[in-house]
Copies of this chain bind each other. A is one copy, B any other.
Amino acid sequence: MQGQNISDIIEKYLKQILADSEQVEISRSEIANLFNVVPSQINYVMKTRFTIQNGYIVESKRGGGGYIRIEKVNLLDDVGVIDSLIGTIGESISQRDGLAIVQNLYNNEVVNRREANLILAAIDKQTLAADDRMQENSFRARILIGILNHLRYES
């Protein structure tokens, strides 16, 4: 029996709720209070246990009536393809290689033609119009990775 630290207990508590409903909406301070931890511990639990790789999406809002919402999503079958594509992107990618990635997605029917063109518009050299090539390639990489992470699940 593992899971004695408080982060594990909070994780278990939240996942128990998520067993019944698709999402939970909590107040950070309330939960922190409930388990007698500092509020920022809740952020730690989110970052380490409710990641997209595990099939969770976390959204939040600050200010009055603020919240943290955890949503459980269905991971798709081609997660393997996505992982390997992310691996090849790394921290920087040229427009040419970016095009290849998008074409790969299209060929694997992860996206349709319209969606592929949308992505290409987003990572286009002219669109990014960065100060230098390194910055351009770096942002292109981040955008592609963000999109790929999104494609892991159905929304």
Contacts and interface: CB of A to CB of B under 8 A. Distances in A.
A150 B117 CA distance: 8
A1 interface: yes
Interface residues of A, number: 39
A149 interface: yes
Given A1-B25, A155-B114, A146 B119 contact: no
A89 to B, nearest CB: 13
A127 B113 CA distance: 23
Given A1-B25, A5-B63, A122-B147, A127 B114 contact: no
Contacts of A126: 146
Contacts of A111: 118
27 contacts: A1-B23, A2-B25, A2-B67, A2-B69, A4-B67, A114-B155, A115-B115, A117-B150, A118-B118, A118-B119, A118-B147, A119-B122, A121-B147, A121-B149, A121-B150, A122-B122, A122-B143, A122-B146, A124-B146, A127-B146, A127-B147, A128-B139, A128-B142, A129-B142, A130-B139, A139-B139, A143-B143
